[in-house]
Amino acid sequence: MLASVNEEIGVENDDEDLAPSDLEDPVDEPNRIMPAIEFRDVHLSFDDKKILDGVSFVVRRGETKLILGRSGGGKSTTIRLILGLLKPDSGQIFVDGEDITEHSEEQMVAVRQKIGMVFQEGALFDSLSVYDNVAYRLHEMNVDEEEVEREVRRMLRFVDLEDAIEKMPDELSGGMRRRVGIARALVGDPPIVLFDEPTAGLDPPTARTICELAIKLRDLQDVSSIFVTHEMNNVKYLSSEYATVNEEGQVIFEKEGEKLCLINTEVIMFRDGKVIFSGSDERLRSSPDRYIQRFITGK
């Protein structure tokens, strides 16, 4: 996920080793070659409106794909298709190598076990406490209550909300609800996580917290993810910072720089249901396309 740029620019390597971290090194396993998510020429229309028009892309293992685009451009629809909440009109969708295009609701249950979904407003069950929300999947599977409590506390510690364990959703702020939604999505350690505009409507510090959680997942737990957003700040955080663990065991965030650059985060941009850009954030910023420049700069 990180690459040394020294060779590219002809600078001699330092003799220092890279700082030890809990980053999972990419391992040469056959299943790492298989993409986590793949769309092949997917089309979808609602009534006469084309939502997705021949969309194709791949999310590799351990990669974060940032999906940008204007409202109504097909970004959230893409997420719903991966979860099987919608079916495409044509094309194919693969999750973890499995073609889910024609899967029934029963068949999708097993696929959804591998996917965690973070909804735009959190989508917490408002009649259940934070504990019961996060424990939801485990309660459905009739897991022993001691193990449920352990797992729930672990997830809430990850999102730094263990103190809110007994609260009800209407007692939480917007940012806290999103974080509980993330904790709920991560129960069971799914290898794929989908974020549907998780920072919409949040203040910048809280949005930054959400992005840090996504960075932690990518870099410390090798999760493959799709992060739907239309906020360029999120693109900046996710494509230029990485998480690592210092000698005291604390998670710290560092910027990619002269020695290291992120290669496991790419950007896709949608326009009117088509993919008009796919590549790194550097290429996005230097794209000559006027639509893309207007989207990035807001002018």
Q: Which is nearer to other proteins, 185 or 275 (CB)?
A: 185
Q: Residue length, the chain?
A: 299
Report CA dihedral (10, 11, 17, 19) to the nearest 10 degrees. -100
User: Binders of other proteins: how many residues, by CB under 8 A?
Assistant: 20
Stretch that binds other proteins, among 113-121, 225-233, 262-270, 289-297 (CB under 8 A): 113-121
Cβ neighbors of 228 (< 8 A, separation 6 or more) are 67, 75, 76, 78, 79, 194, 195, 196, 197
Question: Would you put residue 273 in left (φ > 0), alpha (ψ -120 to 50) or beta?
Answer: left
Check residue 145 for interaction with other proteins (CB under 8 A): no
User: Which span (20-28, 135-143, 220-228, 234-242) binds other proteins, by CB under 8 A?
Assistant: 135-143
Q: Is 126 in the site for other proteins (CB under 8 A)?
A: yes
Closest contact distance (angstroms) between CB of 269 and other proteins is 24
In the complex, the smallest distance separating the C-beta of residue 48 from other proteins, rounded to whole angstroms, is 15
Q: Which is closer to other proteins, CB of 177 or CB of 218? A: 177
Of 168 and 245, which has the nearer Cβ to other proteins?
168
Instruction: In angstroms, give the least distance from the CB of 49 to other proteins.
Output: 15
Q: Specify the stretch interacting with other proteins by CB under 8 A; choose among 96-104, 132-140, 225-233, 254-262.
A: 132-140
Site for other proteins in 184-203 (CB under 8 A): 184
Please say which residue, 90 or 113, places its beta carbon nearer to other proteins: 113
Applying CB under 8 A, does 65 fall inside the site for other proteins?
A: no
Using CB under 8 A, list all residues that contact other proteins. Answer: 80, 83, 85, 105, 109, 112-113, 115, 117, 119-121, 123-126, 136-137, 140, 184
